[in-house]
Structure formats: structure tokens, C-alpha cells
Amino acid sequence: MEEQLDAVPPLPPALPEPPVPAGPGLPSVPSVFEHRFVFDGRADEYFRIWIVNLALTLLSLGIFSAWAKVRSERYFYGSTRLAGVPFEYTAKPLPILKGRIIAVSLFSAYIVAGQYSLFMQLGLALLIAVLTPWLIVRGAAFRARYSSWRGLNFRFIPDYGEAYIRFLVLGLPLILSLGLLYPWVKGKQKAFIVENHRFGGSWFKFLLSPGQFYPPYLIAWGVLSAWMFVFSMLMFGVIMASGSVRSGEGPAGLLVFGMTAFMYLGYFVVLAFLAAAIANLIYNHIDIGGRRLRSTLKGRQLLWIYASNTIAILGSAGLLIPWAKIRLAQYRADCLCLLAADDFNDMLAERATGVDATAAEVDGLFDIDIGL
Amino acid sequence: MNAFKAHYFDGQSSRLHEVEVQRLDVHTIRVLGDGIDRSAVASSLRISPRLARITRTIEFSDGARILASDHPLLDQWFPQEDRLQRMVDRLERHAHAVAASIVLCLVVGIATFAWGVPWLADRIATRVPPGIEEKLGSEVLGQLDEYFGFAPSGVSQARQDELSARFDMLRADMPDARDYQLVFRDAASIGPNALAIPGGTIVVTDQLTGLFDNDREFDAVVAHELGHQQHRHALRQTLRSSFVLVIAALFTGDVSSASAIVVGVPAFLLQNHYSRGFEEEADAFAFATLAAHGTSPAWFAAAMRKLDDFHHDSDEDEGIAYLSSHPSSFARIAAAEAEGETFIAAHPELIRETPGYDACADEGICADEDEDSEVGDCDDADCTDAGESAGHDEAAAGADSGACDKSAVEGKKGF
């Protein structure tokens, strides 16, 4: 499930954790076992991997970054165990390098185009927008395909039509509704990502309607709006402070900075709670062939980890990034478990079950992983 | 030892088989136990690269796999073909390599922020079309008007024209002179201040024009802002800040989720660092411009002092904790005064047009008993009335002695 962890990025929203659905939602099999995700990665160990790979990336002008990514992913996957068996990340570096070269080229083309013609830049921006759903599908498919557990692979069904509807077409009502549909659209998108995943022959089901994404977002919006209202005016002081005769020295500069920091603080707090709530909401409504996940992330705990990570990273000139990543992964694993009545010995690979075996080989054609 | 315990998965089902892996001979591997008994040529098996303590995977060509804890035996039985990964693994375990990596990363990181970001930002700044910069500028001015309560100036038109004429004189010889314009605004919220906005506009607050009692101080401030414009500081600053944001976000993005704040603090610190360099550059430009127009750079020092004093007073009134000693301000004043002395040395005839010039103390033309005890040298001189006090340059005409100008300037530093 490591890949699922990442499929739900430390994304924007959500407040208090909704109560974990207790027994009723679960399959009514006599004895359901709670299988905890166990993470045993160590900061000192990961630090060595991280710093050496970063140095090699710098020395190779970025080319080694694909190898660095694979080693880093393998460390986190391999350090996460479920029912005593670690996850495996089996991707090769070259496809990742290919994906990164494409991403960097697109981005550079976009920047360079801006120097010469606005029209060209708009065209490229449009191209990137049109490519986005495709890239999302490719990324998810790549990640799933190279994630495995107990010798079975995850898989993501590349349903491009549906991807374009949910990640592009739905943008129109979102804009027309002035953003009011945001939680609903987000819910549709998450449902798409979850429901197109398979583990071996087991299908992922999402037991949540998009409307149920509203409560956490609404609470977050309410709190954030109140906060923003108070401090938005002071934010523009930054503009003022730069370029003035006494730039950065005067009380105005300090005051404006203090207020801006205060405003971000509110943003930070809301974000942590929202992240916990949304992650719980999603994980707690995933059904994998009759097995259920349970996530019990706490907003307060997540906030503490984010805040202390931030301070540690700033105070160490970035050297504590590995430590920060390890403890975040640790906490996420600690809060996640799989409820299942069996011992996982009877799940079958897709080929064995004859489920939709056609798509697997198509993946190889555009075997790239986008995303820096 | 030529056997080890492992987990075996056939790749078709999730069933875990507890097995023993044996080496029958150099070429043949046998997996035995829990209903499994298969042999394979060792060279047909692929082992995952070594990585910390991570479980190793030995894969059969049909997708079946053995999962085993890392063990030295594994790399003898199943040679790793990927030499790059083998080398990286060795580096990761080597204390010296780790130490060298730390040094390399820190050096590259510091160099990136100290030189890379400014260099790149400046390269791009030179390519930003003037149209875009002007748009940015009018945007900023609009925001100032809207959010900072900048109101139309209350300064009389005649006075505005007078100051604009001085501004026109200062900018006359500058390459982009026609793009520069002076704008007056009443801005109680920020008090006496002048801002250089992208695109060539310089905003001067009524509070600033009201603060100075000599137009040369106004010239000094405007020359400084023209320096910002000449070097396109506003645009370069904006670009630098955004680059810092992007780079920092790349590195911290996935760790703290709220990269905004992770990134905000160093960005602010760097911004201050960068802008200090810009201030010095603008100051140097101001000194040169003033000197070229026959005005002593010491007027810049005079203007800075007044601004400092003003902000000092207002801070205490509002009870805001304030860094009472800002060395950079003192350094800038000192630099201006040094420039002023150089200027006077080159143009001794202009001594009377320097700030704080005291005809009595400096030239001995005093009225009666002089209260200026700082300048002891001239106390007992034969004085006639000059009627001029510090801060006014229109000193009475008289012979230029120059003997005391140095101490007069130094006396000023006590502020």
C-alpha cells in the first residue's frame, strides 16, 4: 500500500478526523484480523543513501537523479512490511530518466517560448494542460506496475477517457461554480484513482460518494477565510518593503513580515488538519477484494510532525530532510492497518484469474514516470 | 554454509512458502520446502541491488521470487550485474564518502543561493520585455493605492513641478531616461518613503517631501531610487525571490506539505541579503549622480539621518520593538560622508553647499558668543554674524577656509 500512501499526497485540505467507521462497514466475516503496517526505516541509514545519491546527482548534473529516486523508493518500500512481508519497488531508473527529460524539456520550452512569443507560450501551456490527465494516468500506472507485495503486482487501469473527464472536463463546472464544486471534483478524481487500482486479481472499490468530501473542506475553508480576512491586507506590505529607500530595516518591514508569517501559520495549521482528515476519509473507504484499510491519522500529531520537520530542516540547512521523511513515513505507517479475515495466502495474480489481461503489455510503450 | 532460509512466492498467487535455498554447485540453485522443489541455473536468476538492510529479491525468469534478508552469501551466489548500483552501495556504506557528500552538497547549495540564483535571475531580467515590466509596475502601483491607502498627493502643483524639474535634471543623462517618471502620493501608512517600482516609476510620498528642508536631500533620495531603476532592482529582486522559492520547494516539497512556510523563511532572509547588495549599488549610483550634478554625496547622509530619526521617533510612539541599532544604516551614512569628503576635496569651492555647513564655526564668521562647543577650534575666532544653522546650505558668502569642515562632519556622526 505504499503506493497508495503516495497516491494521496500531503494534499491541501481537511480538519477534524471523521470517526473511523467501526465494525458495521466491514465484511461480516467471523474473525477479522488487524494487520498493521510496520515501518522500520532508520534516519541514519536513509541519510547515507540520501546524501550520497544527492551528491552523485549534483556531480552528474541531474542525470543520476533517476537512480537516486529508485534507491530512495526502494528503501521506503522495503522498510514497510505488512503481515511480515515487505513491499517492493521494482522500477528501473532509465524510464524514470526518460520521463524527467521530457518533463524538463517541456518546462524549459515553456520558459524559453516566453522569451520570444507569448502566443507560443500559450500554445505550450495549452499542450501541458491537455497532456495532464494523460500524465496522471501514466504516472499512476507506472507506480502501480512497479509496486509489488508477496510476488503480486499492483496495477492501474489506464482509462484515459474517464481521466480526461475527471481531470480536464470537470474543470469547467468547477470554474463556473466559482470553486464551490471543488470538493466534489476532488472526490471524483480520488475515486477514479482508487477504483482503477488492482492488486493481483483484487479490485479496489471506493465506498464514498464525492459529496462526502464536503464537510472537511467546508470547515477548512471557513477557518481559513476568517484567518485570511484578518491578515490579507498586511500581506501586501512585502511589496512595499522591497525597493524602498530603507528597505527591510524599518518597523514596517518587520511588521509586515511578522503578519505574513502569522498568516502562513494559520494556513499551515489548517493544512495539517485537512491533510489528516482527507487521508483518513479516503483510506477508510477503500475496499480491496473484501479487505478494508483503516487510517487513524490525527491532525494534531501531523501538525506537530510537519512543524518540527520544518524547523529541523531549516535549522540544519536541509541535512535533516532524511530524518523528516523517515518520521513522516513512520507515523503514516503507524496509523494504517489492513483489516482482513484471511492470511493473504489465497490472492491470485491477474493472469491467473483471467481478469483484463490485455492492458498489461500496452504499458510498456509509454513506460515513463513523470513527476519530479 | 551453503543454504539459507527464505520466503518464496510463485508470482501467480500470494501464497508464502517457507523455503530453504541451497547451492548444489557453482551453477545450480535449488529451492526446497513447503511444497516447493525447483532448481535453476544461478545465472538465470536476477538479484536486486544491495541497499542498506533491505530485503533482497532473487527473481526467476517466470516471475517467481525469493525474498531473503541481506547476507554476504547472496552476492557470491548471485553476482550483481549492475556495477553502478554496486558502486553506489559501497559509497553509501563508506564514512568518508558520506562526509565528502555532505561537504559537496553544502558547498553546491550555498553557491547556488549566493551566486547561481542571482546570476540566473539577472540573466532573465535582461530579457524581460519592457512592456511586461511596465505592466508589473502599474500593477504594483495599483496595489499600493488600493491596499496601502495611497492617496493623491496634497503637495501643491507648483511644488510638484519644482521637484519634477529637479528630477528631470538628475535623470537627463541616463540611458533610459525617458522611461523614468516621478509620481507623488500621500501615504500616511508608510510615512516618509520613496519607492522604485518596476518599469521606471518612482513614487515619492508627501511625508518625504515634507520631511526635508533642503531640496538637495530630496535629490539624494531620488538619485538613490534612480539607481534602483538603472539596475532594474525591483524586477531582479522579484525574480530572485521566485527562484529561491522554486528551488526550496523542489527540495522540501514532499516532506512538510506546507512548503509555503518552509520556503518562506529562507526566502525572506535571502531577500534581505540580496537587497542589501542592491541598496549599496543604488547608493553608489546616487553618490556618482549627485557628484556629477555638483551636489555633495553628504546630502545623502543628511537625508538618511532624517529618515532614521523619523522612524525612530514613530517607533517609540507606537511601542513597537525595533532594532534600535541597524548597522547597515550607519554604514551607509558613513559611506555617504566619506564620498562627501572626497567630493569636497575635489571641489573645495562647493564647501558652503554641504549639509551642516556652519559659516560661523567653519569660517569664523560668527555673530556673538558661539554655542557650538563641538567645534572648539573656532570658538575664539574673530566672528561675525552668519546667521546660518546646521541643515541649511544657503550659507552666507564668505572666504572658504575649509579648516573645520572635517570636525563639523564628524560631529554629525554622533546622531
A218-273 pLDDT, tens per residue?
Answer: 999 999 888 877 766 555 554 455 444 444 444 455 555 566 667 778 888 888 89
Instruction: Give the model confidence (pLDDT) of B189-201 as tens digits.
Output: 777 888 888 888 8
Average pLDDT, chain B: 76
Q: Do B228 and A351 touch (CB under 8 A)?
A: no
Beta partners for residue B183, in sequence order = B203
Cα(A192)–Cα(A170) distance, rounded to whole angstroms? Answer: 13
Among B55, B314, B315, select the one facing A78 at the smallest CB separation: B55
- When pLDDT is cut at 50, 70 and 90, the band that residue B105 belongs to is very high
How many CB atoms lie under 10 A from the CB of residue B146?
11
Q: Do B307 and A245 touch (CB under 8 A)?
A: yes
Which of A56, A247, A345 comes nearest B88 by C-beta? A56
Q: CB contact, 8 Å: A321 with chain B?
A: yes
C-alpha span between A79 and A109 (Å, rounded): 39
Pairing of strands B201-205, B181-186: parallel
Give me the count of residues in chain A.
372
> Does residue B17 have a pLDDT over 90?
yes
The letter for the amino acid at A41 is G
**Cα–Cα separations (whole angstroms), residue B53 to A45, B18, B90, B95, B219:** 9, 20, 13, 17, 69
pLDDT of B216 higher than 70: yes
Q: Which chain A residues touch B302 with a CB distance below 8 Å?
A: none
φ, ψ of residue A7 to 5 degrees: the values are -65, -20
Residue that has been written with the C-alpha cell 500470494 in this structure: B14
Q: Who wins on pLDDT, B369 or B61?
A: B61
Determine whether the interchain pair B102/A51 forms a contact, defined as Cβ–Cβ distance below 8 Å: yes
User: How many angstroms separate the CA of residue B317 from the nearest CA in chain A?
Assistant: 12
Report d(CA A318, CA B255) in Å as an integer: 11
Output the nine-digit C-alpha cell for A87.
Answer: 513491499
- pTM tops 0.90: no
Q: Where are the domains of chain B?
A: 3-85, 130-333, 340-412
- What is the band of A35 on the pLDDT scale with cuts at 50, 70, 90? very high
Interface test with A, best of B13, B203, B252, B318 (most A CBs within 10 A): B13
Residues 6+ apart with CB under 8 A from A309: A320, A324, A327, A328, B255, B256
Statement: residue A101 has pLDDT above 70: yes
Looking at chain B, which residue has its C-alpha nearest residue A371? Answer: B250
* Interface list for A 87-106 with B (CB within 8 A): 88, 90
Whether residues B256 and A86 touch (CB distance < 8 A) is answered with no
Which of B54, B113, B235 best tests the A interface by mutation, with the highest count of A CBs <10 A? B54
Q: Which run of H or of E encompasses A256?
A: helix A251-283
* Mean pLDDT estimate for chain A: 79
| pLDDT, position A371 | 39
Least confident interval from B98-102, B208-212, B276-280: B276-280
A163-177, A225-239, B206-220 — which is least confidently predicted?
Answer: A225-239
- Please tell me the predicted confidence (pLDDT) of residue A135: 80
Query: Between these two residues, B342 and B329, which has the higher pLDDT value?
Result: B342
Distance CA B241, CA B266 (A): 10
User: How far is B413 from chain A, CA to nearest CA, in Å?
Assistant: 19
The verdict on a CB contact (< 8 Å) between A52 and B15 is no
- Provide the pLDDT for residue A284: 94
Q: Do B143 and A246 touch (CB under 8 A)?
A: no
Please say whether the dihedral angle defined by the alpha carbons of residues B137, B140, B146 and B151, taken in this order, is positive or negative. negative
Please judge whether B256 and A264 are an interchain contact, meaning their C-beta atoms are less than 8 angstroms apart.
Answer: no
H helices of A146-249, where? 160-164, 171-176, 182-195, 214-235, 237-241
Higher pLDDT, B40 or B367: B40
> From the list B54, B197, B320, which residue is nearest A243 (CB)?
B197
Q: Is residue B378 over pLDDT 50?
A: no
Residue B84 has pLDDT above 80, yes or no: yes
Closest chain A residue to B125, measured at CA: A115
| Amino acid at the residue A317 | A
Confidence at residue A273, expressed as pLDDT on a 0 to 100 scale: 92
Calpha distance A276→A266 (Å, rounded) = 16
Q: Which residue has the higher pLDDT, A122 or B317?
A: A122
Q: Given this model, what pLDDT does residue A12 score?
A: 38
Does A248 touch chain B if contact means CB atoms closer than 8 Å?
yes
Q: Is A319 on the interface with B (CB under 8 A)?
A: yes
> In which element (H, E) is residue B226 found?
helix B215-230
Are A151 and B252 an interchain contact pair (Cβ–Cβ within 8 Å)? Answer: no
Nearest residue on chain B to A343, judged by CA atoms? B15
**Does residue B58 contact residue B45 with C-beta atoms inside 8 Å?**
yes
What are the beta bridge partners of residue B29?
B23, B40
Beta carbons of A275 and B257 less than 8 Å apart: yes
Beta bridge partners of A248: none
User: Which of B147, B275, B314 shows the shortest C-beta gap to A247?
Assistant: B275
Check A58 against B104: CB less than 8 A apart: yes
Q: Residue B361: CB partners within 8 Å, gap ≥ 6?
A: B370, B372, B375, B378, B404, B408
Best of B9, B10, B14, B317 to substitute, by most chain A Cβ atoms within 10 angstroms, is: B14
Residue contact A248–B250, C-beta within 8 A: no
Which element (helix H / strand E) includes A85?
A: strand A85-89
Which residues in chain A (274-313) have CB-CB distances under 8 A to chain B? 275, 306, 309-310, 313
Burial of B36 (0-12, 13-18, 19+ CB in 10 A): middle
Phi-psi region of A51 (alpha: psi -120 to 50; beta: other; left: phi over 0): alpha
B3-85 is classed CATH 2.30.110 = no
Q: Which residue of A has its CA nearest to B57?
A: A88
Q: How far apart are CA B61 and CA B92, in angstroms?
A: 30
Q: Which chain B residues are Cβ-neighbours of A117 within 8 angstroms?
A: none
- Asked if A267's CB is within 8 angstroms of B258's CB, the reply is yes
Residue B55: name the closest of B65, B45, B64 by CA. Answer: B65
Which chain A residues have a beta carbon less than 8 Å from that of B250? 372
CA distance A325 to chain B (A): 6
Instruction: Inform me whether the C-beta atom of residue A260 falls under 8 Å from chain B C-beta atoms.
Output: yes
Backbone angles phi, psi at B65, to 5 degrees: -150, 150
Chain B residues with beta carbon closer than 8 angstroms to that of A56:
88, 91
Which chain B residues touch A314 with a CB distance below 8 Å? 262, 265-266
CB A369 within 8 A of CB A91: yes
Q: Are B283 and B227 in contact (CB under 8 A)?
A: yes
Q: Which residue of B has its CA nearest to A72?
A: B51
Task: Provide the pLDDT for residue B1.
Answer: 61
Residues in A touching B211 (Cβ below 8 Å): none
pLDDT band at B281 (very low <50, low <70, confident <90, very high): confident
B194-197, strands of its sheet edge to edge: B151-152, B181-186, B201-205, B194-197
Q: Tell me A358's DSSP state.
A: S
CA distance A208 to chain B (A): 25
- Asked if A258 has any chain B CB less than 8 Å from its own CB, the reply is no
Is residue A371 within 8 Å of A99, Cβ to Cβ? yes
